[in-house]
Structure 1
Amino acid sequence: MGYHVVDSDEVEPDPDRPCTRRSLSDPAGLTQMAINRYTADPGEELPLAYHYHDDQEEAFYVLSGTLHVDTPEGTLEAGPNALLTVEPGSPQFAYNPADADEPVDVVAIGAPPSADDVHAYDP
């Protein structure tokens, strides 16, 4: 058996990201899902590009602020305590708009984890 308690504030942010991303899977000893904590100031993006996954399901739980997610069908908004989910094959681009009043703080979970399961999407 294995148990881990991870203080996400103590995990170093990933370099070269458009916002602050802390990768929590490795410190938590997880191999079957990817968990990241994002903090995006107004005008910052969460992903590196508008994208979709072949197999990965994603869930974004908003801790504070309002997350905006562009999709081919329009923009979704999720505020504090909301869960926004994205099914495989569904293009999405998450961000905090430049005119936002505050940062957005989000926990993102993806399963199964895979660096090879991401594809750029050009709307």
Structure 2
Amino acid sequence: MEKVAIDDVENSLQPAAVMRHLTEPLGLADFAMNYYELEPGDSFAFAYHRHEVQEEVFYVQSGTATFQTEAGEIEVSSGEIVRFAPGEFQRGWNRGDEQVIALAFGAPLKYGEQVKLRECPTCGEATDNEIERRSAADASGGEVAVTICKNCGTETGKWTKGSMSGEVP
């Protein structure tokens, strides 16, 4: 048995105000579990994406999350659950005025190949991106996450903890 207090798990650098990876602290071997708190405008992910082998399930505990999908936008409200099959593109946002609290589950634990689509100003279209983590260039000593177009190397987004600079929902 493993027991974890969510507030005791370190906040991860993500496009969400709070994102806590619970997989490792709980010793999970067969699926991933993450806790999210999204402020208005925050997102669950860095990009519109899909996982080759992992299915994802989001349980919205409070607020309303809006997911961008190939079929259009879908709202998932408090007490509702949404599942995305392997290979299905999605990205969830908090487009409302109140905080969203949610849990995300993924199985199997491995993603397989991931495709992360973001608009690239140089290429003029949505392209596959990679995510790089770097040390902040300022004196903060913090970490920065940057999305980079795989086609041309252009930076398409940048995040620091508590900041969504470069992000357009």
Mapped pair 1:59 → 2:45 = no
Give the structure with the higher percent strand.
Answer: 2
Q: Distance in 1 between matches of 2:63 and 2:23?
A: 23
CA shift for structure 1 position 117: 3.4
CA shift for structure 1 position 118: 2.0
Q: Distance in 1 between matches of 2:108 and 2:98?
A: 31
Mapped pair 1:25 → 2:38 = no
Match of 1:113 among 105, 109, 113: 109
Q: Distance in 1 between matches of 2:102 and 2:113?
A: 21
Check the 8 A contact 1:14/1:21 in 2, yes or no: yes
Match of 2:80 among 79, 82, 85: 82
Structure 1: runs of 5+ lacking an equivalent: none
Q: Greater RCO between the two (CA within 8 Å, min separation 6)? A: 1
Q: Where does residue 36 of structure 1 map in the other structure?
A: 34
CA shift for structure 1 position 114: 2.3
- Which one-letter code corresponds to 2:9 in the other structure? V
1:3-40: CA deviation from partner (whole Å, max 9, x where unpaired): 0111112211112x111110001110112111000111
Q: Distance in 1 between matches of 2:113 and 2:6?
A: 25
Output the aligned Cα RMSD: 1.4
Equivalent residues, number: 118
Check the 8 A contact 1:51/1:91 in 2, yes or no: yes
Match of 2:97 among 78, 98, 101: 101
Q: Distance in 2 between matches of 1:83 and 1:49?
A: 21
- Which one-letter code corresponds to 1:103 in the other structure? Q
Q: Identity of paired residues, percent?
A: 36
TM-score after normalising by structure 1: 0.90
